[in-house]
Amino acid sequence: MARTPLVIDTDPGIDDALALLLALASPEVDLRLVTTVHGNVELAQTTENALRVLHLAGRSDVPVAVGARSSLVHPQPERAGHVHGAAGLGGVVLPPSPAAVDPRPAVTALADLLESSAEPVTVAAIGPLTNIALLVSVYPDAAARIGRLVVMGGSATRGGNVTGAAEFNVWADPEAAAVVFRAGLPTVMVGLDVTLPTVLTEAGIARFAAAGPVGAQAAAVLAQYLDHATSSYGTDGVVVHDALALTEAIVPGTLDVVRRDVVVDTGHGAGRGQTLVDRRAVSTSPTAVAVAEGVDSAAAVEFLVTRMERLAASLS
């Protein structure tokens, strides 16, 4: 099977960590590069976490390139430590990686990979979109070579999860999201519409926890996220936003998408960071975005749990 080259642009983050492990568990894709960005916690910590998660899975060979420390225009000092833990991985301290970061800035590493790859590259962007906006601005020819850009971010019908209007990744850098969503790239928007119903239950977590030490570590990382979900939303599981986006990156067509015009609110009122998705009609505009509007959440969760079980078993 030809494996699709994959880049993950990420801010680990608990669901980011799960998304990285899911990619490593999936033979359809070849994870060639991880780029880090500010977001759930500070950049130095998201970078350290990315290195450690790759090492956990025995893949410290995957290059990690450091990206943007802050948003494009307006710094957003508020992070998500209350959800992901102060250090981003739910209070779990994973062993340090022997690998150093790639010497190139993330945008340069991304551009190099896009320009040198014989196959179209899928980019999964599961943090604030600062690095991708910089790529579009600094290396437009490289950006135009992206095969698919799968973005976890935004919301068409569900309002926000940080404010009444805004989803976290878009809210953390609305100007960057505006650049990316109007760039005319082959973008799939995996927003709260499809992620919120996709809940990984305690029973699912227990299945991969039992499959080997790496599964047990992943379950430990998820524990704080589960506590937060249970106390804040009364759910019996965790919303696996970023892992769902990775599933669409790994198996295109997992989600039902409709081409829509998407505008990001970059104003400074109550709507800042909202993705305004025009759902009146299917868009024929060259800058339309494929917005995920339908999901089989049970199938997506089963896919994630099965892959995590397989990864944990293979590493035990």
Interacting residue with Ca ion among 9, 16, 42, 193 (CB under 5 A)? 16
- By CB under 5 A, residue 127 contacts Ca ion: yes
Is 84 part of the annotated catalytic residue set?
no
By the rule CB under 5 A, 183 interacts with Ca ion: no
d(CA 260, CA 280): 9
Q: Which is nearer to ligand BDR, 171 or 303 (CB)?
A: 171
Q: Which of residues 28-57 bind ligand BDR (CB under 6 A)?
A: 40
148: nearest Cα among 5, 255, 26, 36: 5
Estimate to the nearest angstrom the gap between the alpha carbon of 254 and the chain centroid. Answer: 16
Residue 254: half-sphere exposure toward Cβ, Cα within 13 Å: 25
Binds 80, which of ligand BDR, Ca ion, none (CB < 5 to 8 A, cut-off by type)?
Answer: ligand BDR
Which residue number, 134 or 243, has a Cβ lying nearer to ligand BDR? Answer: 243
User: From CA 102, how far away is CA 6, in angstroms rounded?
Assistant: 17
Q: What are phi and psi of 64, to 5 degrees?
A: -120, 120
Among 26, 36, 169, 224, binds ligand BDR (CB under 6 A): 169
Q: Tell whether residue 212 is a contact of ligand BDR (CB under 6 A).
A: no
Contact between 275 and 264 (Cβ < 8 Å): yes
CB closer to ligand BDR out of 126 and 205: 126
297 Ramachandran zone, left/alpha/beta (phi>0; psi -120 to 50): alpha
Binder of residue 167, out of ligand BDR, Ca ion, none (CB less than 5 to 8 A by kind): ligand BDR
Active site amino acids: 241
Residue ranges binding Ca ion (CB under 5 A): 11, 13, 16, 126-127, 242
